Amino acid sequence: MLMKLPRLPAYLLTFTVLNALLPTHDVIAADTAAASKTSRPNIVVLLADDWGFSDVGAFGSEIATPNLDALAQQGTRFSNFHVTASCSPTRSMLLTGVDNHRNGVGNMRETIPQEHKGKPGYLSVLNERVVTIASLLKDTGYRTYVAGKWHVGKEPHNLPDKRGFDRSIIQGDSGSDNWETGKRYLDLTDKVYWFEDGKEAVMSREFYSSEYYVDRMINYIQSDNSTSDKSIEKSRQPFFAYVAFQANHIPVQAPRSFIDKYKGRYKDGWTALRQARRDRAIALGLLPKDTPMVTMSTTKDWEALTPAEQAYQARRMEVYAGMAEAMDYHVGRLITALKQSGQYDNTIFMFMSDNGAEASDPYAMLSARLWLDMHYNSDIDKLGDKGAYSIIGPGWSSAAASPLSTYKFYAGEGGIRVPLIIAGKGMQQNRIHQSFTHISDIAPTILELANTARPNGSYQGKPVETMHGSSLIPVLFDGKDRVHPADENIGYELSGNQALFRGDYKLVKNLPPVGDGRWHLYDIQLDPGETRDLQSSLPEVFTSMQTAYAQYAKDNGVLPMPDGYEPSQQIFTNAMVHVYIPRFKYPAILLLLALVTAVYLVKRRRRLSMNKVKP
């Protein structure tokens, strides 16, 4: 009896046969790539910044995202897709398919404790033991482009031109202003670092980030479609385009024409929005019926706010919605350009967010407030404009993540479960995939779409880390229900928040102030809001998953966090080390020593006075 083969698109079936007949190499042989390049698809990766699970219309949002919704109709929505809880670790895994502790980005530069800095796995930038998908695609005949936020290292060997990209315009760090190219969003670096094709870029003074990145990407793609003989030959090559938006990273900013569409939309507050989004997500088939959800302990009671406070908070969310819609609008411009050039039908689109919504409030830190008050306006009638600074805070972030628990920086589903849409010709349409998938699955998927093999432990004669994800091709083209076996253990750690996934189960521990520092067990298929702890009813699963997590941590060099670690606080400690001390040198050191001494004396006096109290 002949074994039944899974249904594959023609170009993948051709590649499968060819690859079986040819000898094995570290990457696919060049002649195979040449033979199949006419049918290999263009691949566009659209990475949003700090979007929550339900921030897309096709995932339950009231925000207008018609272009992303159209892609969802043409492909698959992944309702159980996981990333890391902050920017650069996710980006590092997207580009390499390697666990962030093994690729060098065990933590962000901005949030890493000083005790971890420079330790193996904790460079905060890509190490030299990984190869990017851009390098692999370029080697097999792809044109490769990137525009947007980079955040995986701005050392010369880590810039895009040395990481496989033919053309690039990138902002090198964690973020910047969306209206002014030279304006920092916090005092975390000495300047905004822009690079074009491996050199410091000369930027115009003003732009709007989402518009600019799409403009540059359209230009890169079209510049290879001119009438010169060289361009004609190059235009026959497929392309890989990576657009990494700053939307909706703080400061939340957008053109008034988008913001004002949402005037009055959020007057009922974040709790009402959180409930409404959950109900829409259920109605769309993304979540189980009657999915329960918790009320976040960091979320204030909307009704306890004064009318003026409610109006101010509502305006913040209007700006956030406007920023998201503006990004979608510019995604639409890229899609239109590809349709006009005849390249759309042979293009695969992937859209995702790098982590959940941002709940942090920089104004809560005195040093940040002083700096922000000097550089930004926060008046209600200016929010979203050039020179104005807005955030959404924990209330709206909990709504953006609805119905999930926690948000950016934390290992609850709200911090690491985000929307993923993959669409393209030949795929099943308007499908929802509900089993667990992971950011490490994206690189293998892209390589398989491009008929390009994974590196087999070495690249150009040098040892490299092995990709550990699973290709999503069986889901996209054959409707497979699961790509990860039910007994596979997939570990996670970032900033001391930890998790292990096994089938539908999730073991998770979040540090204070959001978590309690203890392990919990959930069935995230039936209970994505993480409301019912199963450790008592499933003690063997609970224990075995803790053992599996300990093995993951050991295998990947995960370091324990210092006592009292909190990511928002660490950001400003690192700013002192990286910015203030180098800037002011001896006065800053003396000030820091004075502050440390003062804290020590206060604690010592308190301890002595407590010792004097008799029991």
* Residue-wise DSSP of 239-283: EEEEEE--TTSSSP---HHHHGGGTTTTTT-HHHHHHHHHHHHHH
Q: Is residue 286 part of a domain?
A: yes
CA distances from 105 to 48, 124, 416, 553, 578 (A): 19, 4, 16, 15, 18
Task: Lowest mean pLDDT of 194-208, 229-243, 423-437, name the range.
Answer: 229-243
Contact between 225 and 211 under an 8 Å Cβ cutoff? The reply is no
Residue-wise pLDDT for 88-135, tens only, equals: 999 999 999 999 999 999 999 999 999 999 999 999 999 999 999 999
Has residue 28 got a pLDDT over 50? no
Q: Pairing relation of β-strands 520-523 and 505-509?
A: antiparallel
Task: Lowest mean pLDDT of 13-22, 208-217, 413-422, 548-557, name the range.
Answer: 13-22
Has residue 151 got a pLDDT over 70? yes
Range of the domain at 67: 10-99+129-478
Residue-wise pLDDT for 450-484, tens only, equals: 999 999 899 999 999 999 999 999 999 999 999 99
The DSSP symbol for 160 reads G
Q: Pairing relation of β-strands 42-48 and 347-353?
A: parallel
Binned at pLDDT 50, 70 and 90, residue 22 comes out as: very low
Q: Is residue 119 part of a domain?
A: no
Instruction: Find the farthest-apart pair of alpha carbons in the chain and give their distance in angstroms, rounded.
Output: 91
Residues 9, 141: Cα–Cα separation, whole Å: 20
Has residue 602 got a pLDDT over 70? no
505-509 sheet: strands from edge to edge: 489-494, 497-502, 505-509, 520-523
Residues 76, 350: Cα–Cα separation, whole Å: 10
Residue with the larger pLDDT of the pair 347 and 23 = 347
- Top mean-pLDDT range of 13-22, 229-238, 418-427: 418-427
CA distances from 321 to 51, 107, 326, 396 (A): 11, 29, 9, 11
Q: Pairing relation of β-strands 143-149 and 167-171?
A: parallel
Residues 387, 192: Cα–Cα separation, whole Å: 16
Tokens of 134: 């851009």
Binned at pLDDT 50, 70 and 90, residue 342 comes out as: very high
What's the rounded mean pLDDT across residues 419-434? 96
347-353 sheet: strands from edge to edge: 199-200, 194-196, 167-171, 143-149, 239-244, 42-48, 347-353, 420-423, 75-78, 431-433
Phi, psi of 242 (to 5 degrees): -115, 110
Which pLDDT score, from 0 to 100, does residue 573 have? 80
Nearest partner of 464 among 97, 23, 141, judged by Cα: 97
Residues 217, 207: Cα–Cα separation, whole Å: 15
How many Cβ atoms are within 10 Å of 583's Cβ, its own excluded? 11
Contact between 427 and 475 under an 8 Å Cβ cutoff? The reply is no
Rounded percentage of the chain residues whose pLDDT exceeds 70: 86
Residues 491, 509: Cα–Cα separation, whole Å: 12
Residues 39, 22: Cα–Cα separation, whole Å: 19
The DSSP symbol for 300 reads P
Residues 198, 162: Cα–Cα separation, whole Å: 8
Task: Lowest mean pLDDT of 243-247, 294-298, 354-358, 522-526, name the range.
Answer: 294-298
Any idea what the CATH number is for the domain that residue 446 is in?
A: 3.40.720.10
Q: Is residue 459 part of a domain?
A: yes
> Taking phi first (over 0 means left), then psi (-120 to 50 degrees means alpha), and beta for anything else, what does residue 159 get?
beta
Which pLDDT score, from 0 to 100, does residue 291 have? 96
Q: Tokens 């001896």: give the residue.
A: 586
Tokens of 179: 């209206």
Residues 525, 58: Cα–Cα separation, whole Å: 19
Has residue 311 got a pLDDT over 70? yes
Which pLDDT score, from 0 to 100, does residue 592 have? 59
Which pLDDT score, from 0 to 100, does residue 567 have? 81
Q: Annotated active-site positions, please?
A: 87, 151
pTM above 0.85, yes or no: yes
Which pLDDT score, from 0 to 100, does residue 6 have? 40
What's the rounded mean pLDDT across residues 302-319? 98
Rounded percentage of the chain residues whose pLDDT exceeds 90: 80
Q: Provide CB contacts within 8 A for 307, sequence distance 6+.
A: none
Q: Is residue 351 part of a domain?
A: yes
Q: Pairing relation of β-strands 194-196 and 199-200?
A: antiparallel
Residues 203, 185: Cα–Cα separation, whole Å: 17
SS3 407: coil
Which pLDDT score, from 0 to 100, does residue 23 have? 32
Task: Lowest mean pLDDT of 89-98, 101-110, 144-153, 558-567, name the range.
Answer: 558-567
Q: Is residue 473 part of a domain?
A: yes
Q: Is residue 492 part of a domain?
A: no
Has residue 612 got a pLDDT over 70? no
What's the rounded mean pLDDT across residues 187-208? 96
What's the rounded mean pLDDT across residues 128-143? 98
Binned at pLDDT 50, 70 and 90, residue 14 comes out as: very low
What's the rounded mean pLDDT across residues 489-502? 98
Which pLDDT score, from 0 to 100, does residue 603 have? 56
The H or E element spanning position 423 is strand 420-423
Q: Is residue 512 part of a domain?
A: no
Mean of the per-residue pLDDT values of the chain:
90
Has residue 16 got a pLDDT over 50? no
Number of folded domains in the chain?
1
Residue with the larger pLDDT of the pair 3 and 399 = 399
Binned at pLDDT 50, 70 and 90, residue 606 comes out as: low
The angle at the Cα of 417, spanning 72 to 103, to the nearest 5 degrees, equals 105
Has residue 359 got a pLDDT over 80? yes
Q: Tell me the torsion sign for CA atoms 12, 16, 19, 25.
A: positive
Contact between 430 and 72 under an 8 Å Cβ cutoff? The reply is yes
Binned at pLDDT 50, 70 and 90, residue 572 comes out as: confident
What's the rounded mean pLDDT across residues 560-576? 84
Q: Is residue 463 part of a domain?
A: yes
What's the rounded mean pLDDT across residues 83-87? 97
Tokens of 312: 């101010």
What's the rounded mean pLDDT across residues 379-389? 98
Has residue 601 got a pLDDT over 90? no
What residue type is 396 in one-letter code? Answer: W
